């Protein structure tokens, strides 16, 4: 088979390894960006502008997640590692999508199932290419798959258990519009059958609209008939599980993520001691409201994963203490109106950076929030020192930018790492 590997980043390299293992396949690596020196020997390649429009003679074009199918011109089949995994995986798949909370919720699900003695594979957008583990997955294992809209764009098979978290504007720098974004997300339920399960955020109109498309058994969360919080305790229906303080991560929004996780696994294990162990043992993912350091009574949190306004709002609401928040970066098509309104009702001072600083400033001014300043020509060291100077004893400093990082940093990981390193130098 003649196969084009379209996009050669982390996932593209995994795709190459998977399809090149069949020596009968003839592989060509395709990318609009220049390729590095780590290419396999003697491999065919197509590079440069419009490279993805030159794929007419391939039987199969395997796109990397962030490459929109509409950008590929071919008379062959457009495919993806996600489609391949779903087609070949022998185990039950629990798929999680949403605009925020995906990594945390998938990790909570995996943590609970592992405490229940299950073999669990945590893959997808969380950073582990699914095809790297496919050959090791057994039929009685469980796969927990974090699914971005990019992975869902052309998905041809839905997970047995689907979880839809809070959805808001996201990736509008890549998707044509919000309808395209929601349409991609909808594929998580499009191919479900009546015996499948759908867990969805019943307070979010986008999640509810997608749930309406599913024929599966549906559980909206939080709900008193299933997982919910009451008087400081997690419950499932009337079954008490554990105190919310058992959850090993901060933020009230994570109570919802925990409820979604509990709903997803309840039919697999309803042992409340196991569920409590799973909730307690998960201590959070890097760059997600991660406590980096406490200096002179001020706690500094790395929430660099917060690349949309809703995530920054959730971070602000996670703390009652006085706050300093670092906001800004590169554009993703976000509307900062609600963020400005949230800042106006918080005890917070804001530092604005990057190409979106002016847009955030405008939203702040419209909301009547003026306790902000824009920093230009900065580096992370003086940015952190500015935040330290603005902080109050007993308060918190949040790197929760509400924007992408590109142009200032390599990615959100680099941004968070630089923040942490600068704190260690204080």
Contact indicator for 198, 219 with CB cutoff of 8 Å: yes
Tell me the three state secondary structure of residue 179.
helix
Which DSSP category does 286 fall into?
Answer: T
Task: Give the count of alpha carbons within 13 A of 351, CB side only.
Answer: 22
Q: How many CB atoms lie within 10 A of CB 40?
A: 12
Query: What's the gap between Cα 333 and its chain centre?
Result: 17
What's the pLDDT score for residue 50? Answer: 94
Q: At 340, list the tokens.
A: 């400005």
Task: From residue 299, give the alpha-carbon distance in Å to each of 294, 302, 317.
Answer: 4, 10, 15
What's the pLDDT score for residue 53? Answer: 96
290-425 — its CATH code?
3.90.190.20
CA distance linking residue 46 with residue 56, whole number of Å: 12
Cα dihedral 219, 268, 104, 411, rounded to 10, equals -100
Angle at 88 between CA 87 and CA 92, to 5 degrees: 90
Q: At 252, list the tokens.
A: 């009230």
What's the pLDDT score for residue 422? Answer: 97
83-281 — its CATH code?
3.40.1190.10
Tens of pLDDT along the chain (426 residues)? 999 999 999 999 999 999 999 999 999 999 999 998 889 988 999 999 999 999 999 999 999 999 999 999 999 999 999 999 999 999 999 999 999 999 999 999 999 999 999 999 999 989 789 999 999 999 999 999 999 999 999 999 999 999 999 999 888 888 999 999 999 999 999 999 999 999 999 999 999 999 999 999 999 999 999 999 999 999 999 999 999 999 999 999 999 999 999 999 999 999 999 999 999 999 999 999 999 999 999 999 999 999 999 999 999 999 999 999 999 999 988 999 999 999 999 999 999 999 999 999 999 999 999 999 999 989 999 999 999 999 999 999 999 999 999 888 999 999 999 999 999 998
Contact indicator for 355, 330 with CB cutoff of 8 Å: yes
Four-residue CA torsion sign, 197, 199, 202, 205: negative
Q: Where are the domains of the chain?
A: 2-75, 83-281, 290-425
End-to-end alpha-carbon separation of the chain, Å?
57
Q: At 282, list the tokens.
A: 């998960």
CA distance linking residue 361 with residue 290, whole number of Å: 26
CA distance linking residue 329 with residue 292, whole number of Å: 21
Q: Where are the beta strands (DSSP E) in 15-107?
A: 26-31, 44-47, 60-63, 77-80, 92-97
> DSSP for 343-391?
HHTSSEEEEEESTTHHHHHHHHHHHT---EEE--S--HHHHHHHHHHH-
For the 2-75 domain, the top CATH level (class) is: alpha beta
């Amino acid at each position: 088979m003649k196969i084009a590997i379209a996009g050669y980043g982390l996932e593209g390299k995994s795709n190459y390894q998977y399809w090149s293992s069949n020596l009968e396949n003839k592989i060509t690596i395709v990318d609009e960006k220049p390729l590095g020196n780590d290419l396999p020997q003697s491999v065919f390649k197509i590079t440069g502008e419009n490279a993805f429009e030159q794929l007419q003679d391939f039987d199969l074009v395997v796109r990397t997640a962030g490459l929109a199918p509409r950008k590929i011109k071919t008379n062959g089949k457009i495919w993806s590692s996600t489609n391949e995994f779903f087609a070949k995986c022998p185990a039950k798949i629990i798929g999680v999508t949403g605009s925020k909370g995906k990594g945390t919720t998938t990790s909570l699900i995996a943590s609970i199932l592992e405490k229940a003695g299950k073999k669990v594979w945590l893959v997808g957008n969380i950073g582990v290419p699914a095809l790297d583990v496919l050959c090791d997955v057994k039929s009685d294992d469980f796969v927990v798959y974090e699914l971005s809209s990019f992975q869902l764009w052309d998905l041809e098979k839905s997970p047995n258990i689907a979880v839809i978290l809070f959805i808001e504007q996201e990736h509008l720098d890549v998707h044509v519009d919000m309808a395209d974004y929601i349409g991609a997300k909808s594929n998580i339920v499009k191919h479900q059958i009546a015996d499948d399960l759908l867990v969805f955020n019943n307070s979010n109109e986008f999640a509810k609209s997608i749930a309406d498309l599913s024929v599966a058994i549906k559980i909206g969360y939080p709900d008193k008939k299933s997982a919910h919080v009451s008087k400081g305790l997690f419950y499932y229906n009337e079954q008490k599980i554990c105190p919310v303080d058992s959850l090993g991560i901060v933020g009230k929004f994570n109570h919802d993520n925990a409820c979604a996780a509990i709903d997803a696994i309840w039919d697999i294990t309803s042992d409340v001691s196991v569920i409590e162990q799973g909730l307690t043992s998960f201590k959070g993912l890097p760059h997600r409201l991660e406590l980096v350091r406490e200096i002179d009574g001020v706690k500094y949190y790395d929430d660099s994963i917060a690349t949309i306004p809703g995530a920054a709002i959730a971070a602000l609401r996670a703390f009652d203490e006085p706050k300093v928040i670092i906001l800004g970066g590169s554009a993703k098509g976000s509307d900062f109106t609600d963020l400005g309104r949230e800042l106006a009702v918080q005890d917070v001072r804001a530092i604005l950076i990057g190409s979106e600083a002016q847009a955030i400033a405008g939203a702040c001014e419209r909301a009547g929030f003026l306790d902000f300043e824009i920093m230009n020509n900065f580096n992370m060291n003086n940015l952190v020192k500015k935040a330290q100077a603005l902080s109050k004893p007993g308060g918190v400093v949040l790197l929760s930018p509400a924007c992408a990082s590109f142009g200032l940093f390599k990615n959100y990981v680099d941004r968070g790492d630089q923040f942490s390193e600068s704190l260690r130098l204080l």
